């Protein structure tokens, strides 16, 4: 049975892509570079506006604003395939499926922006959202959406970079 996803013309969609077996492949500089290059290629062929993102070692959260065609599934498939080609991998970096949620209203948008930006703190990689380098959080701080101290914890944590 083939899973079919709906489209979201001119919509906003929240996406989660997870690495195969939750391997921390996205911590590798070459894989991160391939992700960046693959997304640039995708945007050139299939317009996609990134409203927010966070890249963690084993998964990515994205908030995309889509054009009229609304085909986020095609875009995810193209992104995954481009990365596999760029890395010369015989097996994919990603799990086959991905998780999506079409944003319904402004409150839903706010919740998902918070979720994306707090994710590195939630997983124990940093104490403050602003400390995670591969996130759109700083962009949203500059826009006045967040204070730079938003999304921090005071208790000691372990993890990446500690």
Would you state the pLDDT for residue 153?
87
pTM of the complete model = 0.88
Residue 76: helix, strand or coil by DSSP? Answer: helix
What are 109's two structure tokens?
Answer: 């948008």
Class of domain 12-104: alpha beta
- Per DSSP, the residues of 5-47 read ----TT-EEEEEEEBGGG--GGGSHHHHHHHHHHHHHHHHHS-
pLDDT tens-place values along the chain, 162 residues long: 454 556 677 899 999 999 999 999 999 999 999 999 999 999 999 999 999 999 999 999 999 999 989 899 999 999 999 998 999 866 679 998 999 999 999 999 999 999 999 999 999 999 999 999 999 999 999 999 999 999 998 765 555 444
List b or e across 69-97, with b for residues whose CB sees 16 or more CB atoms inside 10 angstroms. Answer: ebbbbebbebbbebbbebbeeeeebbbee
Would you state the pLDDT for residue 10?
83
What are 157's two structure tokens?
Answer: 């944590």
63 touches 139 (CB < 8 A) = no
């Amino acid at each position: 049975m083939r899973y079919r996803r709906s489209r979201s013309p001119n919509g906003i969609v929240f996406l989660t892509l997870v690495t195969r077996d939750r391997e921390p492949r996205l911590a590798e500089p070459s894989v991160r570079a391939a992700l960046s290059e693959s997304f640039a290629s995708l945007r050139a062929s299939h317009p996609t506006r990134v409203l927010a993102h966070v890249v963690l070692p084993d998964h990515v959260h994205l908030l995309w604003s889509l054009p009229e065609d609304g085909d986020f599934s095609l875009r995810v498939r193209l992104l995954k395939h481009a990365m596999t080609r760029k890395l010369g991998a015989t097996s994919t970096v990603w799990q086959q499926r991905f998780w999506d949620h079409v944003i319904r209203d402004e409150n839903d948008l706010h919740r998902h922006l918070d979720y994306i930006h707090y994710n590195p703190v939630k997983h124990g990689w940093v104490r403050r959202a602003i400390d995670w380098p591969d996130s759109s959080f700083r962009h949203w701080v500059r826009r006045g959406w967040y204070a730079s101290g938003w999304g921090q914890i005071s208790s000691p944590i372990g993890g990446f970079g500690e």
